Structure 1
Amino acid sequence: MSEVLSKNEESIKIEKIVKFHRSFDDMNQSQREDWLKEMGDINIEHFFKANQRVFDEDGPRERSIPRRDFFLDVIKNRVKSDPLLQPKGHPVTNYLQENIVIRELCNKIQAAFDAQDFSTYNMTLMFLKELAKIHTHYLRKEDQLFPYLEKHDFTYPSTGMWKFQDEIRANLKMVTKAVEAKEVNEEMATLLKDVVQDVFDMTTREEKMLLPTAVKLLSNDEWQKMSKEEKEIGYVFIQNPPLWPEDTSKKADMASSLGAIFLQEGALSQEQLNLFFSALPFDVTFVDENDRVAFFNKGSERTFLRSPGVIGREVKFCHPPKSVDTVLKILEAFKDGSKDTAEFWITFGGRLIHIRYFALRDESKKYKGVIELTQDITDIKNIEGERRLLDWA
């Protein structure tokens, strides 16, 4: 009986949070404060379940500043969760250690800029460029943590938080450029303060909501897999953390048990296939007919980083929110047979990148998936004349 009551009470709490989300914009500050008093402390599970439900049923919404600030305060002071106590090298511990440095950088930037001294421009610029490395921290979340959360139906971070992180990255580039040019007007000064505060507040969202929720949802086995995958993207602001859990097992030699894989013409061993794809001068990603990532090659220098955590992930969660609609449009056209290819070219990191999509169809023309090829064509585009002789100079 007590278990039934507990589940009923949980449903009531979640329903109250859902209703509050939906009526927030129609309430005045006094009504919002009354709701807080009525709710008291909010359990992390109630909070993330309510947020996910609103996201599933209502879709993403534009966050006003009052809404953003109010719910950030709720996350800071009202949502209760267990302490994030994990061993050294655990993915959660790695995020927490990086956050310590991130907050220190935010404080240094704000202090340097507040000094309003010309000599502090260089210092502010130095700290901003260092803070821009936060991209790696966010990338681990987007390519590794989010895919595991999606498997437990917690999909809000893959769109809502990712979109916010894209905004932070874009604004950091903008203010860094302005500081570098010593052209910081009143509007840009406000943006600088806002983006630094956004970065700082993101660490709070991680430690008070995202990571406690992840600890609740993910199994120890999932955390161990994530720990092995993290090194694919790397770390920022911290040295390579110790291996967790410590691997004392010896890898068995499987080479002798590997047979040939027969292809259209000829056959290759698994080792040969891996070497073949690793040597290709472009990135290959295969998404199956169910829109899930099934394969990507691991060349020595990929244009866009990939983590093993994306395998099995829905492709709509593998792209920044601003480009998802384009990806889905391509898939729809491939599936209905109206298109077989799509291509784009962009400037990324000062290089010209050519991105192509090819629909895969079987003998009966049934759609079986899509291949994405990404290639740095900067040097190819600059080729002129002819080279007919071997030149290794």
Structure 2
Amino acid sequence: MASERIEVLKSILLDLHNGASAESVQELFNEHFTGVSAIEISLMEHELMNSDTGITFEDVMSLCNVHANLFKGAIQNIEVADSDHPGHPVQVFKQENLALRAALLRVRRLLASYEEAENSDMKGELAKGLLRQLGLVGQFDIHYRRKEELMFPIMESYGHDSPPRVMWGVDDQIRELFQQALSKAQDLPEEEIADVQAAFETFAAEFEAMIFKEESILLMILLESFTQDDWLKIADESPSYGYAIIQPTEKWQPHRQSFEEEPDDRESAISQFHSLAEGTLEQIIETPEGEIRISYQAKEKKPKLADRFSQQPFGHGYLSLEEANLILNHLPLEITFVNKEDIFQYYNDSGPADEMIFKRTPSQIGRNVELCHPPKLLKKVRAIFDSLRKGEKDKFEMWFKSQSRGKFVHVTYRAVRDEAGLFQGVLEYVQDIQPFRDIKEDFYSE
């Protein structure tokens, strides 16, 4: 039955893709469905993008608003007690959306007041207030990054890889619309207020539509799929990315039931045996008819792996695992290793998470490298990795000025090859080289 419903849903989106009106498919939708789960939406999008219909994730992304409206009012609610607790990632997510909505309303009021203001002094004060409120709205990027970097990897691990790709693509479009609106607001009073209002409303329409998609589709998928451990992982890693406008009022600490066996059960059972030989025990049970003998043979113990502090041959010398880890973490570089299967396998701890140039979290480990990048960058990422894999180049270097952080960032992607020259993966290292650019004289000049 579920597969039939997914086929109907898929058919509806294909009709939309081929030019059918939203009204016509809405009627078909109402005819066949009284409710639809978020999991079915995810499966539908997955099948659309992995079938031979020729539909890509860009196509689904372009239909995102239309099919979101189809599901409005028809999505089954999922009640999960934990998600109502203060500090739970779902509660924090919704509170951020409330705060962002409030900031949108304040921006609208300021734009209307600016339009009605009669003198330049008043307009100047309103413009300052407008930019402050837009700064608050702009914190939606923090909200989106937590969604993309913490929630999406877990979704993918459960097989829901299509919704993240579509939503990340729309997120990037919303980011671009916001930058356009912000740029026009920064140009006041030279910019016409009507143009600023139009740019802002274009952004706001897409942004508010995304809030609906997050709360009525995305969170429903997550609440159906994620375990308590998944939510705890998100809660633990969220501070590394920060929060939009609001801060959680308390830390979420759910009750955890222990199901571990009592530690003395095995010892109590073994104590009833007496030793026959080394590693062999026997218990004798007397019955009227005779004796019952039960023997216990200990399993051969496997040799212990070297601990973190044991010295091992390493390169041209000796290092323990602990020393190697410390050395990598003390390098003035952010290091990432993607293996030959394109799986994100390792990153070092070069500094506090909130100071990292490219934030990395444990939830990204084991993720395909393509899923770690916004859809708009996939073409460049694929080109770099293909060229390194084929041996066309050994490394790519790029650099950019980070205005928000005051850093001049240098990024290198280098192919990792073994002694036989076989490709084993890609090493990325990132460094702030602004301090080198600021050097004025030779240390040994005097």
TM range (shorter): 0.7 to 0.9
- Corresponding residue for 1:61? 58
Shift of 1:105: 1.3
Bigger shift: 207-216 or 169-178?
169-178
- 137, 156, 159: which one pairs with 1:153? 159
- Corresponding residue for 1:93? 91
**Structure 1 residues 50-91: Cα deviation after superposition (integer angstroms, max 9, x where no partner):** 1221123322124798x4543232233222231464133222
For residue 287 of structure 1, what is the amino acid of its counterpart?
A: V
Task: Find the aligned partners of 2:160 and 2:174 in 1 and give their Cα distance.
Answer: 22
Larger radius of gyration: 2
Q: Is the 8 A contact 1:41 1:80 kept in 2?
A: no
**Structure 1 residues 111-145: Cα deviation after superposition (integer angstroms, max 9, x where no partner):** 32233243532222111111111211111111111
1:291 matched to 2:284: no
- 28, 45, 48: which one pairs with 2:42? 48
Task: Find the aligned partners of 2:243 and 2:312 in 1 and give their Cα distance.
Answer: 36
Task: Find the aligned partners of 1:245 and 1:273 in 2 and give their Cα distance.
Answer: 34
- Rate the CA distance shift 1:308–1:176 in 2: closer, same or farther, 3 A: same
**Structure 1 residues 19-53: Cα deviation after superposition (integer angstroms, max 9, x where no partner):** 11111142134422321321333312222211221
Task: Find the aligned partners of 2:228 and 2:254 in 1 and give their Cα distance.
Answer: 14
1:278 matched to 2:329: yes
Task: Find the aligned partners of 1:295 and 1:29 in 2 and give their Cα distance.
Answer: 46
Shift of 1:241: 5.0
Task: Find the aligned partners of 1:122 and 1:184 in 2 and give their Cα distance.
Answer: 15
Task: Find the aligned partners of 2:439 and 2:96 in 1 and give their Cα distance.
Answer: 43
Counterparts of 1:134-283 in structure 2, within 5 Å, are 134-182=140-188, 183-185=190-192, 186-245=194-253, 258-283=309-334
- Corresponding residue for 2:76? 80
**Structure 1 residues 333-358: Cα deviation after superposition (integer angstroms, max 9, x where no partner):** 22222221111112223432111111
RMSD: 2.6
For residue 388 of structure 1, what is the amino acid of its counterpart?
A: Y
Percent identical? 24
- 364, 383, 391: which one pairs with 2:420? 364
1:12 matched to 2:4: yes
Q: Secondary structure at the match of 1:53?
A: helix
Q: Secondary structure at the match of 1:110?
A: helix
- Corresponding residue for 1:327? 381
Q: Secondary structure at the match of 1:26?
A: coil
Shift of 1:361: 0.8
For residue 192 of structure 1, what is the amino acid of its counterpart?
A: F
The alignment covers a number of residue pairs equal to 376
Question: What TM-score comes out, normalization by structure 1 length?
Answer: 0.87
For residue 272 of structure 1, what is the amino acid of its counterpart?
A: E
For residue 337 of structure 1, what is the amino acid of its counterpart?
A: G
Structure 1 gap segments, 5+ residues each: 1-8, 249-255
Q: Secondary structure at the match of 1:77?
A: coil
- Corresponding residue for 1:32? 25
- 402, 424, 433: which one pairs with 1:377? 433
Q: Secondary structure at the match of 2:50?
A: helix
For residue 102 of structure 1, what is the amino acid of its counterpart?
A: L
- Rate the CA distance shift 1:261–1:192 in 2: closer, same or farther, 3 A: farther
Shift of 1:295: 0.9
- Corresponding residue for 1:108? 106
Q: Is the 8 A contact 2:344 2:364 kept in 1?
A: yes
Shift of 1:328: 1.1
1:386 matched to 2:436: no
Q: Is the 8 A contact 1:357 1:373 kept in 2?
A: yes
Ranked by relative contact order (alpha carbons within 8 Å, sequence separation 6 or more), the top structure is 1
Question: What TM-score comes out, normalization by structure 2 length?
Answer: 0.77
Task: Find the aligned partners of 1:277 and 1:80 in 2 and give their Cα distance.
Answer: 48
1:308 matched to 2:359: no
Shift of 1:265: 2.5
**Structure 1 residues 78-113: Cα deviation after superposition (integer angstroms, max 9, x where no partner):** 222314641332222221221121111122222322
Shift of 1:188: 4.0
Shift of 1:176: 1.6
For residue 131 of structure 2, what is the amino acid of its counterpart?
A: L
Shift of 1:310: 0.7
Bigger shift: 292-301 or 175-184?
175-184
Q: Is the 8 A contact 1:89 1:241 kept in 2?
A: yes
**Structure 1 residues 225-270: Cα deviation after superposition (integer angstroms, max 9, x where no partner):** 222222222223222453333699xxxxxxx864335420333344
**Structure 1 residues 167-192: Cα deviation after superposition (integer angstroms, max 9, x where no partner):** 22222222222212204434443221
Q: Is the 8 A contact 1:346 1:353 kept in 2?
A: yes
Task: Find the aligned partners of 1:38 and 1:340 in 2 and give their Cα distance.
Answer: 58
